Structure 1
Amino acid sequence: MRRAFVAAAMAALAALVAPASALAQPVGLSPVAFSELKGWARDDHAAAFATFSASCRAIRDDLPPSRPALPPSAALKAVCEHALALDEQDAAAARAFFEREFRAYRVGTGTLTGYYEPEIEGSREKTARFDTPLMARPADLVMFAEGETAPGVPPGLGAARRRPDGGLEAYPERAKIEDGALAGRGLELVWTEPVDAFFVHIQGSTRVRLPDGTALRLAYDGRNGQKFTGIGRLLVERGALTKSGTTMASIRTWLAQNPREGRDLMRENASYIFFRIDGSLKETDGPRGAQNVPLTPGRSIAVDRTLWSYGLPFWIEGRFPDGERIEKLVVAQDTGSAILGAARGDYFVGTGDAAGAVAGGMKQQTGFVALLPREAGAGEAK
């Protein structure tokens, strides 16, 4: 498999954040005093510290992420050891911890979107209403690391199917899977409605409320590697929605009003996600992010995993769709195929319809400030 792209990216990354003895500051990032961050003194740093500590436990324990990111540096590991040696911190002590252990650097202004954990209705058996499966990862799925490919697989695909002869080929697209390409393997974990299933694929996790009232937690467990296509963009291009009026709610409304056309439209997104049942999560836990730790509503964000390490704190400055300001400390614990660039984030809002209403309208220009360990070594950010 070709690794040239990965090697080049890592080499560039190492040059970007060099040890303090080699660089006065990380190249391309502007230092900023904590006192200059609007709202810094008002934030609940204790809540951010709890989320950061969860990431630190995963780093300390070498918990494998579900989607590998830039490895944490020795400096970040050291800060995590300091955090985990402390008792639960109040807001003032937590703020002092972050100011003592990190330096703040402005990354720039970019897009902040939102995501959530859907809670949908479903059944362990196929019914007239619940006729669309959420499926387990097939045994023949081979996932690639960022930038890798293989003979027989078109460049740019993130996964492949292993043939019986040992060779690899492109994994079937969404339309072929929906038409039965994986039928008969017993991969169906749960059945739900088609539009709900589609949006669960976009969010990457869900709680499925079963007829007996119990909930089944499903977590991301791989994808077919095919290109993701946002159907909101397609609806705008075709004049069905306006760019300013495109939200998750407006897309769902259009799909409900146009079921036949909606089915065809959803099939244009070739990407398909596979899941696993996560029985380790408590009712109060958020879904697991790519770092493999439960996400915290309002404190976890998804970042570009080729540029940032999981566990890094970020200060974000922007607004919610209703105009309320976002000025808070969050932690990188997740990633996504559409989350690309240094000043780009996806904000985890929470679980259920109310969280979905907020997440679906989020696409604001937001300021991003990275907190890097004071003794930062290479490998923290590109």
Structure 2
Amino acid sequence: MVRWLVTLSLGVVLLLGLFWSLQTTEKAKVPAAKVDAGSALEQVAWSSFPKPHNGAASLAQWADALRQSGIYYRRNPAKRQVRFGNYLTTMGKMAALTDQLAAQAALGDLDGLLHHLQAHTTLFRSVGSDGKGHVLATGYYEPLLHGARRADNRNRYPIYKRPKDLIEIHIQDFHPDLPKKKLRGRLEGKRLKPYYSRSQIDQYGKLSGRGLELVWVDDSVDLFFLQVQGSGRVALPDGSTMRVGYADANGQPYHSIGKFLIQQGEVAKEDMSLPVLRTWLADHPQRVDEVLNKNPSYVFFKEIKGGPYGNIGVALTAEHAIATDYRIFPRGAPALLVSEEPEFDSAKGPPKAWHPFARLVVNQDTGGAIRGPGRVDLFMGFGERAERIAGEMKQGGGALFFIAPKQLKHAPLAKPEPAKPASLWDRIKAWFGQLNGG
């Protein structure tokens, strides 16, 4: 690892490439945010809190999810800060909060829990995508694939492990004025290049023959959606099941293939869902590679025991764990999601109705497409029901609340002044002069 850092310091083109890549690919991946971690949440009165629909069984599951967050908080220094909008608390206080709420929830008394919340916690609400608190709620699930540990005529599509030549760059390591972003790439001579895209990996075999094949599966579309979900199970020929979880990604921007088909006029926007998308791909096998390659992002996996695990490293609880933008929302925090869920009247086909719900959940995951204060993804679990619900959910007009300890420190985020292009250019040249002894 030291060797590539030395190489990194030798070329001006490298950091310039990184910088301009950041300005282009990151903007493509993450639209310019109008809010930051300080303005994404606003403190609200408990009178604005919708009464949750959690019954006794659901409260028990919420308690399980809270205990998992407690594990996460205790892995970190007790005094490490956790931000709720313009307020701060600590990991230690969050661990105590999740313990208290888990104990209350385990009693199965919703009214008693709500009384405890109002007396001992502080409530925040996401400002949403419109500044009025509206969020778009989608769902995700743990898919089941079929495969084998060795390739054969049926199982021809590899799930890859993390390549050793995948390099992660923390841009702010070069200077505190640069954005707090990460880039991934690979060394080619003395230059850092973007890591291989989906088409380079799947169609041009850039990773084949390197011993990176974790397991082989029988369907390229299933493999694509495994990467979208981030974890899953693979049924093996001997009857056993292998669980795989997220290990890393190639750093290329995430592009929605559903959005691409809508833009091409192939599917109407109001009709788009996971089942509709799968049907279109099945009906157009000659275009599968073309469409999948519109998303250059690629996910690498590792075999896991238990799980699935979210981005805070704890097991997710079905229907009670959410994924949000980790840059602006507190990891592991208790929350309440207000949205709608579908009702089906047949084994196949679209929902016959949608029903509102307000559910206590916990913020334990993130996702490449989950960006900004107006997005939340609800983990539905494993199985056909989970896939059907997750595949249909894309409900706007919801709300997302977060629950914090009672005592908080008021600490608004300072608004950094944007660097002028000319002065930034001068600083980049100066940094490389220092790196090269000039």
TM-score of the superposed pair, with normalisation by structure 1:
0.82
Segment of structure 1 superposing worse, 72-81 or 118-127: 72-81
- 1:171 and 2:192 are equivalent in the alignment: no
2:250 equivalent to 1:229: no
Cross-structure match for 2:317: 296
Matched residue pairs, number?
Answer: 352
- Is the 8 Å Cα contact of residues 49 and 94 (structure 1) preserved in structure 2? no
> Would you say the 8 A contact 2:41–2:125 is kept in 1?
no
Of 153, 159, 162, the match for 1:134: 159
Aligned residue among 229, 249, 268 for 2:294: 268
Say if 1:373 and 1:145 are closer, same or farther in 2 by CA, change over 3 A. farther
Q: Tell me, in whole angstroms, the C-alpha distance in 2 between the residues paired with 1:75 and 1:189.
A: 39
Q: What is the CA-CA distance between 1:363 and the residue it aligns to? A: 0.5
- Is residue 209 from structure 1 mapped to residue 253 from structure 2 by the alignment? no
Q: Is the 8 A contact 1:75 1:377 kept in 2?
A: no
Q: Using the alignment, how far apart are the partners of 1:60 and 1:206 within structure 2?
A: 27
Aligned equivalent of 1:372 = 404
Matched, 1:81 2:106: no
Equivalent of residue 64 in structure 2, options 50, 65, 71: 50
Match of 1:20 in 2: none
Give, in angstroms, the shift of residue 38 of structure 1. Answer: 3.3
The amino acid of 1:106's aligned partner reads R
Shift of 1:142: 1.7
Map 1:1-382 → 2, pairs under 5 A: 16=39, 29-33=42-46, 36-39=49-52, 44-62=58-76, 74-84=89-99, 89-92=106-109, 94-107=113-126, 108-145=133-170, 158-163=183-188, 167-178=191-202, 179-192=204-217, 193-279=219-305, 281=306, 286-322=307-343, 323-365=354-396, 366-377=398-409
Judged with a 3 Å threshold, the aligned counterparts in structure 2 of structure 1 residues 41 and 362 are, in CA distance, closer, same or farther, namely closer
* Cα pair distance change 1:102/1:142, threshold 3 Å: farther
Give distance in 1, aligned partners of 2:289 and 2:135: 32
The structure-2 alpha-carbon separation of the partners of 1:208 and 1:136, relative to structure 1 and needing over 3 Å to count, comes to same
Instruction: Report the AA paired with residue 184 of structure 2.
Output: A
Alpha-carbon offset, residue 246 of structure 1: 0.9
- Percentage of pairs with the same residue: 30
SS at match of 2:208: coil
Deviation at 1:49, TM superposition (A): 2.6
Q: How far apart, in 1, do the equivalents of 2:171 and 2:356 lie? A: 35
Q: For 1:180 and 1:60, locate their aligned partners in 2 and report how far apart those are by CA, in whole Å.
A: 42
State the 1:159 CA deviation: 1.1
> 2:63 is aligned with what amino acid?
F
Say which SS state the counterpart of residue 177 (structure 1) adopts. helix
Unaligned runs of 5+ in 2: 1-14, 24-31, 127-132, 344-353, 415-438
Distance in 1 (alpha carbons) for counterparts of 2:173 and 2:282 = 39
Q: CA deviation at 1:109?
A: 1.0
Does the CA contact (< 8 Å) of 2:82 and 2:91 recur in 1? no
How far apart are residue 78 of structure 1 and its match?
Answer: 1.0
Larger RCO, structure (CA 8 Å, separation 6 or more): 1
**Equivalents in 2 of 1:379, 1:97: separation in Å?**
26
CA distance in structure 2 between the partners assigned to 1:149 and 1:352 by the alignment: 46
Distance in 2 between the 1:142 and 1:260 partners? Answer: 34
1:244 is paired with a residue of what secondary structure? Answer: helix
Does 185-194 or 124-133 show the bigger shift? 124-133
Distance 2:37 2:173 in 1: 20
Structure with greater helix percent: 2
* Equivalent pair of 1:123/1:130 in contact (CA under 8 Å): yes
Does the 8 A contact of 1:32 with 1:106 survive in 2?
A: no
Deviation at 1:140, TM superposition (A): 1.0
**In 1, are the aligned partners of 2:169 and 2:184 still within 8 Å (CA)?**
yes
> How much has 1:122 moved relative to structure 2?
0.9
Secondary structure in 2 matching 1:292: coil
TM-score, normalised by the number of residues in structure 2: 0.72
AA in 2 matched with 1:91 = G
CA 1:36/1:294 → structure 2, altered by over 3 Å: closer, same or farther?
Answer: closer
Structure 1, unaligned runs of 5 or more: 17-26, 64-68
Closer, same or farther in 2 for the Cα pair 1:234/1:327, shift >3 Å? Answer: same
The answer to whether the 8 Å contact 1:34/1:40 transfers is no
**1:266-306 deviation per Cα after TM superposition (whole angstroms, max 9, x unaligned):** 01210000000113x1xxxx411111111111100001011
One-letter amino acid matched to 1:221: A
- The structure with the largest alpha-carbon Rg is 2
Whole-Å separation in 1 of the counterparts to 2:123 and 2:89: 18
SS class of match (2:376): strand
Q: Is the 8 A contact 1:311 1:333 kept in 2?
A: yes
The offset of 1:51, in angstroms, is: 0.7
